[in-house]
Amino acid sequence: MKVKISDIAKAADISTASVSRVLNHQGGYSQATAERITKIADEMGYFKNRSASDLASRSNNTIGIIYTDFETNFNDLIIRNTMLEAKQHHLDVILMIAQQNDPAGLTKIIRDMIERRVFALQFISTHPSPQMIEMLNRANVFPQVIGDATNHTVSSVSSDDYEIGYQATSYLINHGHQRIGFVSPSVTRDYVTRLRFSGYQRALDDHHLHFKADWLVEENYSYQAGLKAANHYQQTDIDAVIGVSDEVSWGLLNGFYDAGCKVPDQVALISVDGTQLCEQTRPQLSSVTQDFASMGKTAVRQLIDNRATPHQVTTLTVPFKIDARQTT
Amino acid sequence: MKVKISDIAKAADISTASVSRVLNHQGGYSQATAERITKIADEMGYFKNRSASDLASRSNNTIGIIYTDFETNFNDLIIRNTMLEAKQHHLDVILMIAQQNDPAGLTKIIRDMIERRVFALQFISTHPSPQMIEMLNRANVFPQVIGDATNHTVSSVSSDDYEIGYQATSYLINHGHQRIGFVSPSVTRDYVTRLRFSGYQRALDDHHLHFKADWLVEENYSYQAGLKAANHYQQTDIDAVIGVSDEVSWGLLNGFYDAGCKVPDQVALISVDGTQLCEQTRPQLSSVTQDFASMGKTAVRQLIDNRATPHQVTTLTVPFKIDARQTT
DNA sequence: GTGAAAGCGCTAACAT
DNA sequence: ATGTTAGCGCTTTCAC
């Protein structure tokens, strides 16, 4: 039913080997036959069977991307740039989405990727547990985490999160703020947050400011978290806040608005991520802006470089900047 | 190097056939061997080679999803629900992203999907051109468009876009508005827009309102489009606007805000889509709310039902509702 | 309940 | 420049 290489071979009265050669642009045939074969293949509506091809050639030039439908909104940015870079290097990409907080589901997806024999696996706004890493190692596929560092032994490309915390805080302090809130996931459980919070604390220390417990709101990266935190801050004497994602900061902004608290006059607000969203709020959110585009591209190059030296753990860091807009 | 079924067979001193059977839960073996095989496979770190498996079984239970990184933000919603439903039916899903306005790229991706022998292909916020449809037909894969109807001969599941236009407009009229703007992509080139605009015109007619050319702004579905349109409307006597996506409406909202024009006091605003975004603006956007979750699920069921009767073109419609929030 | 063997559609030596 | 052939790793009759 489906036309295969042997059908073309028959129709062209030539061997399957030759057909394969021209269809894959491998050279070693005359211009004439090349054209003839191509034409016939076209007419017959031939489509390579990837399974057969991959199997026979033991090849493997597709990279897998796993991401979660997270509260954050920078996935697209990373994915798009990853794909762009992949295209440059003639790699195929397949995506799969994992649900949040569903280890079993994630495991299944990783399994699926392994079975499809991707040569590398990128994780965006999620990361594999130690067991999953173990599984990937056994399967000999190279995992890499983007934009979400872990203390696990996986390669990663991300921003310097400690420095993000430090810079954001310093920025606020240098603009005259003294009582600085921090809204984030759990400082103890979330690794990225731990780093950022360390930077935050260090900046406070360096400026002889004394941290107070009610400055910290531990929730997650969501808009809701921001809303809730803004509410909480009504009972405090905070004069500035760091929201650890654009969504959180948006929530903060609206929360303050709803409470009749003026931003930036009564509270300054700085976001972390710096996606488009920041320019779409009123007032526009100042932010620590991560370079997600660069992360995506760097990650792919990294994958390619390390193809030879499998499972060497590398940690790459991409520069960020601070964009002052209207909330500071 | 990579452990294969024959390795397990050897280790268990049994035939590859039996190994295959237990690994695929096909029955026809004793409980004892099942456990033994499973254990050994586990210990040896076996992962099925999908290429080989698919090839041998000529099977095919993965569905492909193609979407664009569009200005709209409902992709996630559809995708998530598509995957949920797919999981229920034990189907695998692979995603790929197409760039906007890149037919060559789309074609390549479709090709890729065909080569991977997906049994069906869903398009989200993009759709195949007639040539692409032709290609898909030849390849015998069933295409389906979600949330973006076309006049092409493809199956689709979407809202009743004419009715969306009609209802949105009527709603505004019933609330006392008479001069109603409409911000959308090209009314002539974008099929969905054509339908909605027809509904809009009809509602106007039905209420004996006379359409004026400067009520219509033809751009696209983006935030920027809304911003621009808001600007344009400063020169008009509009008293309400329909933004044809949440992004557009958000742009309108901010554009009016920037111009010092009060929403909803001076202009009312109703959005189309009704994603979370609507509750995250201030004021919150009233909207015609599409049921994207249902679309995703319906689509998958449709795909499964039609697996037997390939390439029968079906057009499914999913109910929408109107959510009055703060901009009307 | 289990095994032998013939492919699935393609690629990659190795010949010619 | 082209053909022959032996697999790639798995599934699936068909025997037993």
Full DSSP string of A58-98? T---EEEEEEE--S-S-HHHHHHHHHHHHHHTT-EEEEEEE
- pLDDT for res A125: 86
Q: Which residues from the 1-30 window of protein chain B have CB within 7 angstroms of nucleic acid chain D?
A: 2, 4-6, 16-17, 20-21, 23-24, 26
Do A121 and A306 touch, CB atoms closer than 8 A? no
pLDDT tens per residue, range B74-131: 888 999 999 999 999 999 999 999 988 899 999 999 999 999 999 999 999 889 999 9
- Averaged pLDDT for residues B44-54: 97
* Amino acid symbol at B281: T
Q: Between vectors from CA A134 to CA A129 and to CA A135, what angle results, nearest 5°?
A: 95
Distance of CA A98 to the CA centre of its chain: 13
Residue A251 falls within a domain, yes or no? yes
Q: Is any atom of nucleic acid chain D found less than 7 Å from the CB of residue A191?
A: no
- Which pLDDT belongs to residue A149? 78
In chain A, % of residues over pLDDT 70: 98
Overall residue count recorded for chain A in this entry: 328
A10 touches strand D (CB under 7 A): no
Report in angstroms the alpha-carbon separations of B304 from A236, B58, B91: 56, 18, 10
Same domain? A171 vs A124: no
Query: CA B53, C1' C8: Å apart?
Result: 9
Label residue A152 by pLDDT band (50, 70, 90): confident
- Looking at the predicted structure, is the pLDDT value of residue A71 above 70? no
Which residues are bridge partners to B94 per DSSP? B64
Q: Taking CB atoms and an 8 Å cutoff, what residues of chain B touch A55?
A: 49, 51-52, 55
Distance B310 CA to C10 C1' (A): 27
Lowest-pLDDT choice from A179-188, B54-63, B245-254: B54-63
Contact between B155 and B137 under an 8 Å Cβ cutoff? The reply is no
Query: How many cross-chain Cβ pairs, A to B, lie less than 8 Å apart?
Result: 94
Both A65 and A35 in a single domain? no
- HSE-CB at B271 with a 13 A cutoff on CA atoms is 36
Within-domain flag for B324: no
Separation in Å: C12 C1' and A79 CA: 35
Q: How many C-alpha atoms does B302 have within 13 Å on its Cβ side?
A: 28
Residue B9 placed within a domain: yes
pLDDT at position A311: 72
One domain, residues B183 and B262: yes
Inform me whether the pLDDT recorded for B310 exceeds 70. no
Span B264-281, average pLDDT: 97
Give the span between the Cα atoms of B149 and A85, in whole angstroms. 32
Q: Compute the residue count for chain B.
A: 328
| pLDDT higher than 70, residue A147 | yes
Q: Are residues A64 and A135 in the same domain?
A: yes
How many Cβ atoms sit within 10 Å of the Cβ of residue B243? 31
Residue B249 structural domain = 161-289
Identity of the residue in A52, A114, A250 whose CB atom sits nearest the CB atom of B47: A114
Three-state SS annotation for A119-138: CEEEEECCCCCHHHHHHHHH
Q: Six-digit token pair at B239?
A: 């008293």
Residue A151's nearest CA partner among A168, A130, A179 is: A130
| Beta carbons of B243 and B284 less than 8 angstroms apart | no
What pLDDT is recorded for position B177?
98
- How far apart CA B242 and CA B29 sit, in angstroms, is 64
CB atoms within 10 A of CB A209: 16
pLDDT at position A33 over 90: yes
In this structure, the answer to whether residues A150 and A299 fall within a common structural domain is yes
- Predicted local distance difference test score (pLDDT) of residue A310: 64
- Upstream peptide bond of A283 is cis (omega within 30 degrees of 0): yes
Instruction: Looking at the structure, tell me whether residues B274 and B312 fall in a common domain.
Output: no
Which of B51, B61, B133 to mutate: most A Cβ within 10 Å? B51
Residues 194-213 of A with CB under 8 A from B: none
Q: How distant, in Å, are the alpha carbons of B122, B155, B232, B242, B297 from that of B302? A: 11, 9, 43, 32, 9
B38 CA to C2 C1' in angstroms comes to: 17
Q: Under a CB-based contact definition with an 8 Å cutoff, are residues B263 and B254 in contact?
A: no
Q: B326 lies in a domain?
A: no
**Residues of chain A contacting residue B59, judged by C-beta atoms under 8 Å apart:** none
- Pair of tokens at residue B37: 């095989």
Tokens of A304: 């390619």
**Domain contains A198:** yes
**Is A112 within 8 Å of chain B by CB?**
yes
Residue at minimum CA to C1' distance from nucleotide D3: A15
The tokens describing A202, both together, are 């260090």
C-beta of residue B228 within 8 angstroms of C-beta of residue B184: no
Is it the case that residue A70 has pLDDT exceeding 90? no
What percent of chain B stands above pLDDT 90? 88
Query: Distances in Å between the alpha carbon of A283 and those of A171, A232, B39, B305?
Result: 18, 21, 60, 50
B53 belongs to a structural domain: no
Tell me the pLDDT band of B239, cut-offs 50, 70 and 90. very high
Identify the three-state secondary structure at position B256.
Answer: helix
Q: 262-301 in A: which are within 8 Å (CB) of B? A: 276, 280, 282
Nearest chain A Cα to B57, which residue?
Answer: A51
Q: Please tell me the number of Cα atoms within 13 Å of A149 on its side-chain side.
A: 18
Give the residue-averaged pLDDT of A203-211.
98
By C1' distance from the Cα of B32, the closest nucleotide is C1
Closest nucleotide (C1' vs CA) to B9 is C3
The amino acid at residue A83 is: M
Residues with CB under 7 A from strand C: A 2, 4-6, 16-17, 20, 23-24, 26, 46, 48-49, 52-53, 55-57, 59; B 13-18, 21, 28-30, 32-33, 52, 55-56, 58
Cis peptide before A128 (omega within 30 of 0): no
Find and give the residue nearest to D12, measured CA to C1': B57
**CA-to-CA distance for B247 and B225, rounded, in angstroms?**
9
**How far does B80 lie from chain A, in Å, by closest CA?**
8
- Collapsed DSSP state (helix, strand, coil) of residue B232: helix
Predicted TM-score (pTM) of the model is 0.94
Are residues B296 and B254 both part of a single domain?
Answer: no
Q: How would DSSP label each residue in B123-152?
A: EES----HHHHHHHHHHT-EEEEES---SS
Å separating the CA of residue B157 from the C1' of nucleotide C12? 46
User: Nearest-CA distance from A201 to chain B in Å?
Assistant: 31
Same domain, yes or no: B143 and B188:
no
Q: What is the number of structural domains in chain A?
A: 3
Residue with CA nearest C1' of nucleotide C12? A57
Residue B152 — pLDDT band, cuts 50, 70, 90?
A: confident
Assign residue A277 a region: left if phi > 0, alpha if psi is -120 to 50, beta otherwise?
Answer: alpha
Identify the residue whose tokens are 């605003």.
B269
Residues A242 and A184 in one domain: yes
pLDDT at B180: 98
Contact indicator for B295, B80 with CB cutoff of 8 Å: no
pLDDT, residue B71, reads 64
Out of A48, A67, A82, a domain closes at A48
For residues B183 and B274, membership in a common domain is answered with yes
Same domain as B140, residue B102: yes
Q: How far apart are CA B244 and CA B164, in angstroms?
A: 10
In a domain, A53, yes or no: no
In the predicted model, what is the mean pLDDT of residues A281-307?
95
Structural Rg of chain B based on CA atoms: 25
Longest dimension (CA), chain B: 85
What does the alpha-carbon distance between residue A75 and residue A91 come to, in Å, rounded to a whole number? 20
- Encode burial over B210-242: b for 16+ CB neighbours within 10 A, e otherwise: eeeeebbbbbbbbbbbbbbbbbbbeeeebbbbb
Could you tell me if residue A324 is inside a domain?
Answer: no
Nearest residue (Cα to C1') for D2? A18
Residue B15 confidence (pLDDT): 96
Are residues A152 and A219 both part of a single domain?
no
Query: Which positions of chain D lie under 7 Å from any protein Cβ?
Result: 1-5, 7-13
| Average pLDDT score over chain B | 94
Positions on chain C within 7 A of a protein C-beta = 1-5, 7-13
Instruction: Please judge whether A94 and B93 are an interchain contact, meaning their C-beta atoms are less than 8 angstroms apart.
Output: no
CATH number at residue A246: 3.40.50.2300
pLDDT at B37 over 90: yes
Query: What contacts A221, CB < 8 A, 6 or more positions away?
Result: A70, A71, A72, A184, A185, A244, A245, A247, A248
Question: Would you say the C-beta of A38 is within 7 Å of strand D?
Answer: no
B114:A47 CB<8 A:
yes
